[in-house]
Amino acid sequence: LKNYLHEYDPSSDESIKSVVEAIEKALDLGINYFDTAPGYGNGQSEKMFGIALEGIEPENIFLATKVSFGSYDDVMRSVESSLKNLHRDRIDLLQIHGDSITYDMAEAILSDNGMLKAMEKIKKAGVVKYIGFTSEDNNDVIYRFIKSGRFDSIQMCYNLLFQHPYEPSRPFGSMYEAEKMKMGIATMRAPTSGTFQRWIQMVNPENTFDYNRALIQFVLSNPLVDVALIGMRSAKRVEENVAICEDLNGRIDISKMHTRYV
């Protein structure tokens, strides 16, 4: 994404080189789940993955992309374009790219000639293995999608600040409902997209502690999380994040953290 959190041009030669090197390093270190979307850089993200994953056998990676809200025909065109960008003849996971999904959008998606029908047709044809949706909401639409039984996975916003999908002291939340439906659960924004860091800067400007490691470990500590998506634009960042993931001593007991009585 261009200028997301800081200045960044995904179309520059330097950016492309850095991302391709990051993906290659990720492969070397055993990362096999890769998430992209045509909406990231107007297809540029998919093209970077296409370059970096050229020649990698499909069974050695899990490749997820998305399709923006639109019509049945829009889904068909989007998938065709994504396959071309990714240099692939199939995709492991195709997701509806949702920031916020309104009631009216949900009605269109679930209609007889809507997006989901197109995705199910593509899945039946073997072009995609699984279908899912992404959202940063926890509104009634999300629960409706989960309980429909028509989606294989959900990608949701979950981190130390935004814990609304998972409240273990009750317990309740959309993450629990997705688990009941045996859906794959991927999370985004583990380091809070800089929100937690900005708060620290506001209340304690002299603080020098790097919270990224602890924030990532918090998400990885959740027993219902199958995949924690973390942005990695350089080989160095890949190495740092893999080291965090492999440090099992950094995991915490989330249930214990929520304990209120002794």
Domain coordinates of the chain in residue numbers?
A: 13-246
What pLDDT score does 11 carry? 60
Q: Tell me the C-alpha to C-alpha distance, in Å, between residue 53 and each of 13, 31, 46, 87.
A: 18, 12, 10, 8
Hey, is 118 helix, strand or coil?
helix
Average pLDDT of the chain?
A: 93
Reported as a pLDDT band with limits 50, 70 and 90, residue 3 is very low
pTM of model > 0.95: no
Determine which one of 33, 40, 72, 166 is catalytic: 40
- The sign of the dihedral angle between the CA atoms of 167, 232, 25, 54 is positive
- 8 tagged catalytic: no
Residue % of the chain over a pLDDT of 70 = 96
The answer to whether residue 2 scores a pLDDT higher than 60 is no
Residues in the chain: 262
What pLDDT score does 210 carry? 85
The answer to whether residue 5 scores a pLDDT higher than 60 is no
Question: pLDDT, tens digit, for every residue of 25-75?
Answer: 999 999 999 999 999 988 999 999 999 999 999 999 999 999 999 999 999
What pLDDT score does 204 carry? 94
| Mean pLDDT across 162-185 | 96
- The answer to whether residues 156 and 189 touch, using CB atoms and an 8 Å cutoff, is no
Specify the CATH architecture of the domain 13-246: Alpha-Beta Barrel (3.20)
